[in-house]
Chains A and B, each alone.
Chain A
Amino acid sequence: MLTFNTLVGVCFLYVVLLFLVAFVADKRARRSKVRFLTSPMIYTLSLSVYCTAWTFYGAVGYAARSGLEFVTIYLGPTLVMIGWWWFLRKLVRVGRSQRVTSIADLVSSRYGKSNLLGVLVTLIAVVGTTPYIALQLQSVTLSFAVFARDRSAGWAVPDLEQTAFWVAGGLALFTILFGTRNLDVNERHHGVVTAIAVEAVVKLVALLAVGIFVVWGVGGGPQGIASAMDQVIKAAPEGAWALQGGRWVGLTFLSAAAFLTLPRMFQVLVVENVNERQLAMASWAFPLYLFLMSLFVIPIAVVGLSLMPAGENPDLFVLTLPLYFGRDGLAMLSFLGGFSSATSMVIVASIALATMVSNHIIMPIWLSTRPGGASEYGDVRQILLTARRLSIGGILALGYLYYSISGGGSALAAIGLISFAGVAQVLPAMAGGLFWRGASRGGAVAGLITGFAIWAYTLFLPSFGDAGAMSASMLAHGPWGIEALRPQALFGVDGLDPVVHALFWSLILNCAVFILISLMSFPSPLERLQAAQFVNVLDHSGPARGRSFSAATAEDLLVMAQQIMGADQAQAWFQAQAELQGKQGYLPDTTPDFIGRLERELSGLVGTATAHAMIAQILGGATVSVDDLLAVADETQQMLEQTTQLETKQRELTLTARQLSEVNEKLTQLSIQKDAFLSQISHELRTPMTSIRAFSEILRDGGADDPQAAARHASIIHDESVRLTRLLDDLLDLSVLENGQVQLNPRREVVREVLDRAIAATSSVIDHENMHIHRNRSDEGIALYTDTDRLAQVFINLISNAAKYCDAKEKRLAIRVRQRGGRLQVDFVDNGGGVPLESQSMIFEKFSRLSDHLAAGGAGLGLAICREIMDKLGGEITYLPGQSGAAFRVTLPVGNPSTFARGAEAGVNHL
């Protein structure tokens, strides 16, 4: 037989077990053996703090009163978990990258680290959660009372108030012991989380056990349940089992919102999260947990309603059904399940609230009362821990007070949804902050206050009934008789269920004010920075990074270094560092020493502040402060200026270098030309000199005996001397022309006359070569103003060339003259083989001869001289390809005294 002492004993043993679990887990965590503790399974189970005693016991009661509607409380979180990829993932990533410690911290951090928002959210959380803690105390005491009533013959009825007091005290002790053992910067509590996971298993097993017993033990299997259900529905008041659309949708949404914003849920969901793998598994495993938790709720309710005596509290069916059928063991398990639900909720909620209260209310007040700077703070850690412990005690005391003042009436049972609606007011600020960069601090503050006020006015205060803050007349007719302000029918909307009504108005107005003020306000720089970091958290962080120094971060560092230093250099550097540490490969251990070196290495490239910020971001997920950013901006500015200057200098240098190299090339070419010229000259001079020397030696050595031979020899010597003289004349001419020292004597003459003179001068060669010259004398009447003697020299050269080199049998030279737009063109076209294409560009160079025509007596300077002359006369001489034979075109301006003077002047200036 179950006695009160057994019950207390089992309870005590269970609590000792929890202490042990928490203790061992904490110890393992301290020894860094956290693989098991951070497994996705533990994480998923810890999420079950969502299922409090209110859901453990209350779900059955809820189902007994309004059928399937209870399931909305589980459907909301299911949808949130299943949609983890676009909301929870972001929330958790932000939570980790910003090292968020609570939901108040998240909101305050997002809106420029505003403590006002932190305080607001903390207040909402405390107001919303305290009644909920009271509800847990009530459920535990009620479950004790059930045993007391059933076994009243066996043991004295315990004082309910006293039970509640002891439960609250015990929970405070446990929470303080394991919730504030240390100050983890990540705010993770491995001991508590593991204990919660154990409790999650206990409550699931308990509910499933009761459910299986009810369905197959007393209910007669699924068929029995189905028929019992039909009867229950018939017996129930009209419409109780019908689905009300408004409540169905509204409550699903409410539970989804509360799932995200309840302080205890935020604690286990975001703060205690270690990696995204946990979330991936929880995305289906937690809905499965909820599914199993609610699977037997309706059968238990149905069986309870049909078998239990009328007037039995359906909220306690889970406990009273086993007791009714004398299954003490099952009842014990069920009791432990309810106890687990209550304790886990109270523990996590009080840790979360204590973190918020101490961080956002106690510490700011304490710091502001301290005189002096940060150096005089002393051991802040100890003070913070004390603040946490006091807060936990205070919160549990508040819960107990609330319980004892409200008297544990039925009003308390309704507090679950009311509490949900209260904390859901944080949702707009939170979701807006995560997805909308324009969400501003002012908007968040105004929205929160609006939503909270409307929630208090339409739901929280009326929940106390007539006895509370609102009188019956005020509820019925509104304050001062203003109907539009009736708390439960605001602005005349009276067709809604009170909870849905309050939820609708509070959230709608909350959102409206939040958005409106956000649109109108202008956020501070810090706020905008935080906004960007929150909203874009998924863009630049990639798969979640561990916060510890590990191979993963070494790889991240390598990736970053490659982007800055260049792939090869970075890899080589990392490899060298790894070798220094005695490791193979590219990933050295990220020791502080290595980090320091890397930072220095990078700061040489991108500046100190940037390097520090980048490394800090990869290593710690540490946030960049505004000062860091300003420093970065400043350095970047300086570097930009320097770069610009360098670029300008570089451009100048490149230009100078190019000019220098051009000059150099010119000089080299000139030197080569000079060398070539000298060797040509010596060669040209040597050939006639050799024969002169040879024949003069013959004459000297008695070769003159034969007068005929002597005369021939003397004639050869004479010819060679003439050739030498001509060569020297040509050279002198060329040199004079090239140096621009030539004196031009321009005068007016007709082309015909110039040509006549040229042909006359070359008549001996023409006759000798038997060449016919074709002219159209009527075309040649063009008057020229130029140095016609020089022009005649060019013509003579061309005519004699044609006579000498034309290889046709019947040599013919056509001379065509015409005027084209102020320029005179004279073409000399013969009927020979012409100049081969590859030589056409060479023929105007000095000493260029197409073949060894030494006999012709030319030194290869004629055309070079022609070109120089034409250049001086302001015209040009070109080879004209595509004619019947060799063809040269002489072009020069017809000219007048003024243009010629200018041309001559230009020629002098060329010097």
Chain B
Amino acid sequence: MRSPREPLFLARQSYRRRRIEDAARLLPLFGVIAFLLPLMVGGEIGPIRLAYVFSAWFVLILSSMLLARHLGRGVGQDEHSTNSISTVDTDAADDAGGLR
């Protein structure tokens, strides 16, 4: 019998990560819509619409920051590998690399 406190295994982490990836893909779409909205209002640009564009922009940046925090964890694995990249090493590599 499963103990009632033991949560069902659902691969929560990878599931969450995939949903965050989904969100990261959808965010630019949200941005496009947000930046199209000022066009729906006619007339001269006033301070209100100005404030709207800038706040929408800022919200977009904040959301992107939150998402990048999560997404960056996955791609941060190669951090230590960058330590050992050496231009001196690669300098000696074949000339063809530069010719391509």
Q: Is the CB of A545 within 8 A of B58?
A: no
Residue of B nearest to A26 (CB): B87
Interface centre among B50, B54, B57 (most CB of A within 10 A): B57
Q: Is the CB of B68 within 8 A of A283?
A: yes
- A-B CB proximity, top 5 nearest: A546-B81, A83-B28, A280-B72, A185-B97, A276-B75
Decide: A185 near B78, CB < 8 A? Known: A68-B45, A550-B84: no
B6 within 8 A of A: no
Decide: A284 near B45, CB < 8 A? Known: A190-B87, A275-B79, A550-B84: no
CA distance A299 to B25 in the complex (A): 34
Q: List which B51-86 residues lie within 8 A (CB) of chain A.
A: 53-54, 57-58, 60-62, 64-65, 67-68, 71-72, 74-86
CA distance A242 to B46 in the complex (A): 9
Decide: A281 near B58, CB < 8 A? Known: A186-B90, A243-B38: no
Ordered by A's residue number, 9 sampled pairs between the chains whose C-beta atoms are within 8 Å are A79-B35, A101-B100, A113-B100, A183-B91, A241-B45, A252-B35, A287-B64, A291-B54, A546-B84
Decide: A544 near B78, CB < 8 A? Known: A79-B32, A287-B60: yes
Contact of A280 among B39, B54, B71, B81 (CB under 8 A): B71
CA distance A280 to B69 in the complex (A): 8
Q: Is the CB of B100 within 8 A of A184?
A: no
Q: Is the CB of A277 within 8 A of B76?
A: yes
Q: Is the CB of A75 within 8 A of B57?
A: yes
Decide: A548 near B44, CB < 8 A? Known: A184-B90, A359-B100, A543-B75: no
Q: Is the CB of A32 within 8 A of B28?
A: no
Residues of chain B with a CB closer than 8 A to A910's CB:
none
Contact of B100 among A29, A34, A75, A105 (CB under 8 A): A105
Q: Is the CB of A78 within 8 A of B31?
A: yes
Q: Is the CB of B84 within 8 A of A32?
A: yes
Q: Is the CB of A85 within 8 A of B91?
A: no
Contact of A85 among B25, B54, B78, B80 (CB under 8 A): B25
Contact of A284 among B65, B83, B89, B93 (CB under 8 A): B65
Residues of chain B with a CB closer than 8 A to A544's CB:
75, 78
A606 within 8 A of B: no
**How far does the Cβ of A502 sit from chain B's closest Cβ, in whole Å?**
21
Residues of chain B with a CB closer than 8 A to A173's CB:
none
Contact of B91 among A182, A190, A548 (CB under 8 A): A182
**How far does the Cβ of A219 sit from chain B's closest Cβ, in whole Å?**
13
Enumerate chain A interface residues (CB-CB to B < 8 A).
29-30, 32, 34-35, 38, 67-68, 71, 75, 78-86, 99, 101, 105, 109, 113, 182-188, 190, 226, 229-230, 233, 241-243, 245, 248-249, 252, 274-277, 279-281, 283-285, 287-288, 291, 295, 298, 359, 363, 380-381, 384, 543-553
Interface string of B34-48 (1 = CB under 8 A from A): 011011001111110
Q: Is the CB of A552 within 8 A of B81?
A: yes
18 A-B pairs besides A75-B35, A277-B72 with CB distance below 8 A are: A29-B87, A34-B82, A85-B25, A101-B98, A101-B100, A105-B100, A183-B98, A184-B87, A230-B47, A249-B36, A274-B82, A277-B78, A384-B95, A544-B78, A545-B81, A547-B85, A548-B85, A550-B80
CA distance A34 to B62 in the complex (A): 29
Q: Is the CB of B87 within 8 A of A71?
A: no
Decide: A30 near B84, CB < 8 A? Known: A82-B60, A242-B44, A280-B72: no
**How far does the Cβ of A871 sit from chain B's closest Cβ, in whole Å?**
62
CA distance A80 to B29 in the complex (A): 10
**How far does the Cβ of B57 sit from chain A's closest Cβ, in whole Å?**
6
**How far does the Cβ of B39 sit from chain A's closest Cβ, in whole Å?**
5
**How far does the Cβ of A137 sit from chain B's closest Cβ, in whole Å?**
29
Residues of chain B with a CB closer than 8 A to A548's CB:
81, 84-86, 89
**How far does the Cβ of B30 sit from chain A's closest Cβ, in whole Å?**
9
**How far does the Cβ of B85 sit from chain A's closest Cβ, in whole Å?**
5
Q: Is the CB of B28 within 8 A of A275?
A: no
Interface centre among A105, A226, A283 (most CB of B within 10 A): A283
CA distance A291 to B60 in the complex (A): 11
Q: Is the CB of A243 within 8 A of B45?
A: yes
Interface centre among A242, A285, A291, A546 (most CB of B within 10 A): A546
**How far does the Cβ of B38 sit from chain A's closest Cβ, in whole Å?**
6
Q: Is the CB of A291 within 8 A of B85?
A: no
Residues of chain A with a CB closer than 8 A to B78's CB:
275-277, 543-546, 552
Decide: A109 near B54, CB < 8 A? Known: A184-B87, A275-B79, A552-B77: no
CA distance A552 to B77 in the complex (A): 8
Residues of chain B with a CB closer than 8 A to A67's CB:
44-45
Q: Is the CB of B54 within 8 A of A295?
A: yes
CA distance A295 to B54 in the complex (A): 8
Residues of chain B with a CB closer than 8 A to A381's CB:
95, 98
**How far does the Cβ of A51 sit from chain B's closest Cβ, in whole Å?**
16
CA distance A276 to B76 in the complex (A): 7
B88 within 8 A of A: yes
Q: Is the CB of A185 within 8 A of B93?
A: yes
Residue of B nearest to A234 (CB): B44
Q: Is the CB of B39 within 8 A of A243?
A: yes
**How far does the Cβ of B18 sit from chain A's closest Cβ, in whole Å?**
12
CA distance A229 to B86 in the complex (A): 54
Residues of chain A with a CB closer than 8 A to B27's CB:
82-83
Decide: A184 near B84, CB < 8 A? Known: A79-B32, A242-B44, A552-B78: no
Decide: A543 near B35, CB < 8 A? Known: A85-B21, A185-B98, A284-B65: no
Q: Is the CB of B98 within 8 A of A283?
A: no
CA distance A67 to B53 in the complex (A): 13
Decide: A34 near B85, CB < 8 A? Known: A280-B68, A280-B75: yes
Q: Is the CB of A241 within 8 A of B47?
A: no
**How far does the Cβ of B9 sit from chain A's closest Cβ, in whole Å?**
23
Q: Is the CB of A242 within 8 A of B45?
A: yes
Q: Is the CB of B97 within 8 A of A78?
A: no
Decide: A68 near B85, CB < 8 A? Known: A284-B65, A287-B61, A384-B95: no
CA distance A194 to B100 in the complex (A): 26
CA distance A243 to B53 in the complex (A): 12
Residues of chain A with a CB closer than 8 A to B46's CB:
229-230, 233
**How far does the Cβ of A587 sit from chain B's closest Cβ, in whole Å?**
12
Decide: A82 near B64, CB < 8 A? Known: A291-B58, A546-B81: yes
CA distance A549 to B86 in the complex (A): 10
B49 within 8 A of A: yes
Decide: A38 near B64, CB < 8 A? Known: A185-B90, A243-B38, A380-B99: no
Residues of chain A with a CB closer than 8 A to B89's CB:
32, 548
Contact of A34 among B54, B83, B98 (CB under 8 A): B83
Interface centre among B49, B83, B87 (most CB of A within 10 A): B87
Residue of B nearest to A233 (CB): B44
CA distance A41 to B44 in the complex (A): 38
Residue of B nearest to A39 (CB): B82
CA distance A68 to B50 in the complex (A): 7
Interface centre among A34, A82, A182, A183 (most CB of B within 10 A): A82
Q: Is the CB of A78 within 8 A of B32?
A: no
Residue of B nearest to A118 (CB): B100
Interface centre among A79, A185, A288, A553 (most CB of B within 10 A): A185
Decide: A85 near B75, CB < 8 A? Known: A287-B64, A295-B54: no
CA distance A113 to B81 in the complex (A): 29
Residue of B nearest to A188 (CB): B87
CA distance A68 to B49 in the complex (A): 9
Contact of A68 among B21, B53, B75, B81 (CB under 8 A): B53
Residues of chain A with a CB closer than 8 A to B45's CB:
67-68, 233, 241-243
Q: Is the CB of A78 within 8 A of B57?
A: yes
Q: Is the CB of B98 within 8 A of A291?
A: no
Residue of B nearest to A377 (CB): B95
Q: Is the CB of B58 within 8 A of A241?
A: no
Contact of B85 among A101, A274, A276, A288 (CB under 8 A): A274
Residues of chain B with a CB closer than 8 A to A186's CB:
90
Residue of A nearest to B57 (CB): A291
CA distance A706 to B29 in the complex (A): 130
CA distance A78 to B34 in the complex (A): 12
Residue of B nearest to A38 (CB): B82
